[in-house]
């Protein structure tokens, strides 16, 4: 079954250095499955803060990030994933190809609310398979509070 028939077309807003291979998308889509709203930030899309902000303002409560990151850049890629997750209080599952020279290194983030703030948790996988449970009700509350804290200067509309 094709992914398109499951959730709809996926466009690439931030094609970066791959403009020869892909056509830039013009929107950020949010999908719903099993009652959970999510967005798919394809590879390079996650490098830009606005992608996550727009996705959560459109209702996304988890981000999926299929990637093709060279093994030598896993450290930097994990910083992007962790940073976007923490700054927006959203769990991210970023799966990288295990084929050489990409070497897997997939990462998943989720957040725990504590008395003095929010703590980010990470799980890493050598291969491209990660499994973990996310409390979506607690996650939605953290995201809603974070959106209210945003002064609006850097916010983006749902358009």
pLDDT band for 1, please (50, 70, 90 cuts): very low
Whether the pLDDT of residue 145 is over 70: the answer is yes
Is the residue at 18 inside a domain? yes
| CATH number of the domain where residue 100 is located | 3.60.110.10
> What does the block give as tokens for 108?
């998943």
Is the residue at 27 inside a domain? yes
Is the residue at 71 inside a domain? yes
Torsion of CA 14, 28, 95, 102, to 10 degrees: -10
Give every CB contact of residue 80 below 8 A, 6+ residues apart in sequence.
46, 47
pLDDT band for 2, please (50, 70, 90 cuts): very low
Is the residue at 144 inside a domain? yes
Q: What is the mean pLDDT of residues 112-117?
A: 88
The beta-strand segments (E) located in the chain are 31-33, 36-40, 62-64, 92-94, 106-114, 117-125
Is the residue at 17 inside a domain? yes
Which pTM does this prediction carry?
Answer: 0.78
Q: How far apart are CA 20 and CA 24, in angstroms?
A: 10
Is the residue at 155 inside a domain? no
Q: Provide the domain count of the chain.
A: 1
Which pLDDT tens digit goes with each residue over 18-57? 555 666 778 899 999 999 999 999 888 888 888 999 999 9
Helix (H, G, I), strand (E, B) or coil at 92: strand
Is the residue at 156 inside a domain? no
Is the residue at 42 inside a domain? yes
- Select the highest-mean-pLDDT range: 9-18, 28-37, 100-109: 28-37
Q: Give the structural domain span for 63.
A: 8-149
């Amino acid at each position: 079954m094709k992914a398109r028939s499951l959730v709809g077309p996926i466009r690439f807003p931030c094609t970066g250095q791959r403009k020869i291979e892909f056509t830039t998308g013009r929107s950020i889509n949010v999908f719903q499955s099993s009652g959970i709203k999510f967005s798919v930030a394809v590879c390079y899309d996650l490098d830009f803060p606005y992608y996550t902000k727009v996705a959560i303002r459109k209702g996304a409560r988890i981000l999926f990030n299929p990637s093709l990151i060279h093994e030598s850049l896993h450290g930097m890629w994990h910083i992007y994933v962790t940073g976007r997750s923490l700054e927006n209080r959203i769990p991210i599952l970023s799966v990288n190809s295990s084929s050489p020279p990409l070497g897997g290194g997939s990462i998943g983030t989720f957040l725990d609310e504590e008395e003095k703030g929010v703590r980010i948790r990470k799980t890493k996988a050598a291969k491209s398979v990660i499994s973990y449970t996310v409390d979506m009700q607690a996650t939605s509350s953290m995201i809603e509070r974070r959106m209210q804290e945003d002064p609006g200067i850097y916010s983006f509309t749902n358009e």
